């Protein structure tokens, strides 16, 4: 099974090497590497992210470095990675952040329901059994608000409305074309999964917060982007 990991990266020179090293070391119990390809999509970073990714890619055929010449947003970077995965006939794609907040080992948990044909798409959730040290405002204000927005506008009822850790099979990859370039892609992916009647599963994941991440004004921008994309349809 061809498993690709897509990493959208923007100004992540401090983390990208460590993230790639961890992902490269990821193996199944038979010592076979879990990931056939690790695709870094540099989203027009102003630091050395792209340079570092390219240098590693030249030394290691498992890693592919793609570069947006200008910053287009995380959603756009993920779709670039998805298109590459479709071109290369990937069977399974994992979306993984470049900021070293996710745990590489949990990729095995997130792909399991797809390998076992229990789901087409699996979302990692910070709000199930495992404990993530989520900042107070994010946990108690921003996320509940995001859940309400998803429920009202998109009729989606999942525990984690903004998780960037997900896996999807070939069917889901082809059905879900990300059109929201910014952070609204999380809600868009959820919505399109429901719209296309995909088998959906949520599994618990751990997130280690190094910085705050999405703030309230970012959340407002997501709502604005969702509204515009709804009106434009």
Partner 1 sequence: MFQQIIAIIIILFFIVRMIWQKKNKKIKNNEFVFWLIFWGLAFFAITSLKWIDKIVANLGFTGSGIDILLYIAIIILFHLVIKIRFNQVKINNQITKLTRKIALDEKD
Q: Which is nearer to partner 1, 70 or 152 (CB)?
A: 70
**Which residues ranging from 172 to 201 are in contact with partner 1 (CB under 8 A)?**
179, 181
In the complex, minimum distance from the CB of residue 224 to partner 1, in angstroms, rounded to a whole number? 10
Enter the tokens of residue 121: 């798409």
Q: Which is nearer to partner 1, 39 or 94 (CB)?
A: 39
Q: Token match 């059994």: residue?
A: 129
DSSP 44-68: S-SSSHHHHHHHHHHH-TTEEEEEE
Residues 39-58 that bind partner 1 (CB under 8 A): 41, 44, 53-54, 57-58
Minimal distance, residue 58 CB to partner 1, in Å? 7
In 3-state terms, what secondary structure has residue 212? coil
Tell me: does residue 64 bind partner 1 (CB under 8 A). yes
Q: How large is the angle between the packed helices 49-59 and 16-24, nearest 10 degrees?
A: 30
CA triplet 5, 226, 155: central angle to 5 degrees? 85
Q: Is 5 in the site for partner 1 (CB under 8 A)?
A: no
| Residues 72 to 131 in contact with partner 1, rule: CB under 8 A | 72-73, 76, 79-80, 83-84, 87
Considering the rule CB under 8 A, would residue 67 count as an interface residue with partner 1? yes
In the complex, minimum distance from the CB of residue 205 to partner 1, in angstroms, rounded to a whole number: 28
Closest contact distance (angstroms) between CB of 138 and partner 1 is 28
Nearer to partner 1, 86 or 103 (CB): 86
21 C-beta neighbours (distance < 10 Å), count: 11
Question: Is 64:39 a contact under the CB 8 Å cutoff?
Answer: yes
- The Cα 120–Cα 117 span in angstroms is 7
In the structure encoding, which two tokens stand for residue 51, read together?
């340079």
Binding region for partner 1 (CB under 8 A): 41, 44, 53-54, 57-58, 64-70, 72-73, 76, 79-80, 83-84, 87, 179, 181, 228, 232
């Amino acid at each position: 099974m061809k498993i690709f990991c897509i990493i959208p990266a923007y100004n992540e020179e401090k983390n990208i090497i460590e993230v790639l090293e961890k992902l490269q070391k990821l193996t199944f119990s038979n010592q076979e590497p879990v990931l056939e390809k690790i695709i870094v999509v540099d989203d027009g970073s102003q630091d050395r992210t792209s340079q570092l990714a390219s240098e590693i890619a030249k030394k290691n055929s498992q890693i592919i470095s793609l570069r947006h010449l200008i910053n287009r947003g995380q959603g756009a970077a993920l779709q670039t990675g998805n298109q590459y995965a479709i071109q290369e006939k990937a069977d399974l794609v994992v979306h993984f952040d470049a900021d070293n907040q996710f745990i590489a080992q949990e990729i095995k948990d997130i792909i399991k329901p797809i390998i076992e044909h229990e789901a087409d798409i699996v979302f990692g959730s910070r709000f199930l059994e495992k404990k993530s040290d989520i900042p107070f405002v994010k946990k108690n204000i921003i996320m509940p608000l995001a859940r309400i927005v998803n429920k009202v506008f998109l009729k989606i009822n999942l525990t984690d409305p903004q998780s960037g850790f997900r896996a999807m099979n070939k069917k889901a990859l082809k059905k879900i074309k990300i059109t929201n370039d910014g952070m609204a892609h999380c809600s868009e992916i959820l919505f399109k999964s429901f719209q296309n009647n995909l088998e959906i599963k949520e599994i618990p994941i751990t997130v280690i917060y190094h910085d705050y991440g999405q703030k309230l004004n970012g959340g407002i921008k997501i709502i604005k982007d969702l509204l515009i994309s709804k009106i434009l349809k």
